[in-house]
Amino acid sequence: MVLISDMLLKINYYAPRAVRSSKINKKFIQGFTLIELTVVLLLIGLIFFTTMPKLDNFLFRSNLKSVARSLKAAVHILRSKSIVSHKNTALNFDLDKGLFWGDYEQPDAEFQTSVKKSHIFSPQRLPRGIRFLDAMNINSDRQNYGLLRSILNPKGVIEETVLHLTDENDRILTIIINAYTGRFLLYDEYVDVEYGEK
């Protein structure tokens, strides 16, 4: 019968020399010098500060892209409602307050004087720091303020719409909503679109 102490002696025999010795070798407990630690921290800081502007730009763009995704979802909802109900729907923009919402088309006078309480989807506010620079569609002139609406007919066709969004750093995103497909074209610059005579 093998004793446990004999097994431990055999294990200890095959262990590396530094572990077997009862005295701790000073070579294995050395640490890093202050210069080595300083160099490593300097490199980490350098990497951090060179990537921060890129990270900031990425975060800004993703915030504008989230607005574009929200508008795209709004157009799809309104398009579906138009087709199913056989009624015109409207994508409304309040350029002053930074809001957009969807409802069934209202007469012009009612649209300009009041905000309807029953919406297809409730007013959505643009994220903090992002605002409408201007907006227009194929049937209206470019507007910097006020209310704008784009109508979707019962076949799901929207008035082609152009939106320019900006932030506090004056970076711009242009969104062009295609009339027939509802497809969104995004540009990271101001794209001036002009339509023929109205």
Tokens linked to 90: 């409207």
How many other C-beta atoms can be found within 10 angstroms of the C-beta atom of residue 182?
Answer: 16
* Low-confidence winner among 23-32, 125-134, 156-165 (lowest mean pLDDT): 23-32
What pLDDT does 168 receive? 80
Report the share of the chain in percent with pLDDT over 70: 72
What pLDDT does 114 receive? 47
Does 54 have pLDDT greater than 70? no
Which amino acid appears at position 188 of this protein?
A: D
- Give the Cα separation of 123 and 98 in Å (integer): 10
Q: What domains can you pick out in the chain, each with its CATH number?
A: 40-187 (3.55.40.10)
Between 76 and 16, where is the model more confident?
76
pLDDT digits 0-9 by tens, 131-148: 999 999 998 999 999 999
- Give the Cα separation of 15 and 62 in Å (integer): 55
- Strand-by-strand arrangement of the 121-125 sheet: 121-125, 99-104, 89-94, 147-152
- Give the Cα separation of 167 and 133 in Å (integer): 9
What pLDDT does 7 receive? 53
Confidence of residue 29 (pLDDT cuts 50, 70, 90): low
Does 19 have pLDDT greater than 60? no
- 87 and 105 in contact (C-beta within 8 Å)? yes
How many other C-beta atoms can be found within 10 angstroms of the C-beta atom of residue 77?
Answer: 15
pLDDT digits 0-9 by tens, 80-111: 999 999 999 999 999 999 999 999 987 664 55
